[in-house]
Structure 1
């Protein structure tokens, strides 16, 4: 089904009942396998396909149990979203209230943690199960502004009958994912929702802008902590010879001597002083610093054990990761959608792939080698000891395990890469 001229501006210009009839006609055609005169928007089309592949009932409301209050509070207090809640409130709550909407903040699992806004709309949200502690992941409740944004990792607006499940057709929502710049993790979604009659095409742009402000606030906080670490580490590094760097708990360098500044280091979940093998630097000595670690690459330790296993875990659709394990520890790195696609292609071709072959695997276009080389360069900043080039491949010393979802159709659901599409049917 091809994307057509249907867009939010056109829907907003229609009478509410007219827009609802149009969208229901598009949805009914999609569910019956017919080709409608006007097709759904791309994000909606992709989500509907995922729901049909899962066998979800489009006419039955799906709800999971609410989290206990104690668990809601625990998640609130440990979530990085708590740090930027004032930014989100300032940017969205008053506008949402005036527009008869509510603001909802969900974690990376799609569990609603906070909601604020119009009291009347909050009561209507209760009827939809749109309450703190509820699960709004796409695989549980179908196409929606929280769960679909988590899967696609893109801002998305879902209007009326664009919701896969019919009981949500009186609702409209616009959600945008938030990524923590300190470690690259997807930490949640901010969503503005309300009754069908209050839909406005600018809502998604507003939500997206405010989430970018929230990410900028997290980035500014991170820079301040790096400045503090730098003030401690710089005098120490100035007295050293050889290579050394000070990094924070997330592996970001604050000060460097004797080497070019690297990108973020992939550190184990639990770091201890002593010898440590790092995927980007090899064997290093690690010493604690206030707010971070002193890392010294050690070329004089040739007999030290190195990890021999790489696990590329794609079993959780929206949380792909790569883990390097061995006798001296375990190092995990959450992957961007593009990097997950590239490593998947390399895991399926242990003999290696040229830049042109990877361009064909990812884009269906062997001429896009510049983009491939740039992305592989970024990947090798984290995995220099694990990934070789000419051709690109996992180095022979490592055993590579590829973990995929139980249902092949759930493999990297955001991806349109030819190699991934082939993997969904093989």
Structure 2
């Protein structure tokens, strides 16, 4: 079966010859030490794709003495593997590559599109050696974190690539050579990840590239067959409430043709729906009035608001005496709480667009807002993940989190991040006098 492929893996490229090791090593040492600039690399027998990758690696602050970074927790890695689109094709990769690698001194790696190593298998001795540079499942080998390397740079450029020994940006990786080919969704062309073969100089040959490329094609064909035989799931038509972040709250219903119909809610209606979703047992008019305002609301006002709310979302969603939702509703708020309960901090951060109804002054909403924000912050700090910590600090409520910025300053793996964190800490100290 033929599949759609991106320009990175559709055409058969001629493999560029590796650069002479001694001259490349000398240029690398001078380049990372700042003795020569990027323009000097044009006079070195260095492939253009490698020179440009070195420049990106140096500019972003990659440490040339480190390999992959930030190993995921076992639970997070299991979740990543279970949900990844390449998981169903793992038997194909094992049959075509891993079985022959078991006693050949090489390692086979399957990465996600963001550079995370999902599976690393192969020769036992080679696997132990690869651990020394942190080439293990769960680590980030994207170019922006590990510098020039075959899987990371292949993903950055969306093209098949071989990196030979001293062409690696990180010194600890330079004893190795590697070949990587991106894999794409056969229906959409979206890049799903990459397949990589890592070992000695023998893995950077034309024959190896052809083998890894053929495996990528087989994987895409396998995924295409699965898509043809997979039953079509019915389209969810239930309502969804969106209340996190600075955008206006929305009530969205998806029709049977998959088309979303969204209604913008008033702040009061959004508050009511949030409280009803957190109290499935139902609440009385008096109780709801108390949760919405300390003393200025009465039952008559609540009944009037409920009548208007029914006209907006439909009378079949809310019941009276007590006020309650007739069926559970999806919401971004509920999804973040659910992710925190099951310990999936990455999913919680992904779903957290910002504070709950930030303009609301309703006492119960304010309490729930603080509960969610505090729980998420604590969960992020408990993971020890700098990736999640940086994403938290990018949020409005994280920008003044001095403890978080201090942790980033003390644990950041490169000088650029440490300098950025230091500057932010100085600014915070000036603000508080």
Higher strand share: 1
TM-score for the superposition, normalised by structure 1: 0.49
TM-score (norm 2): 0.48
Greater Rg by CA: 2
Q: Which has the higher helix share?
A: 2
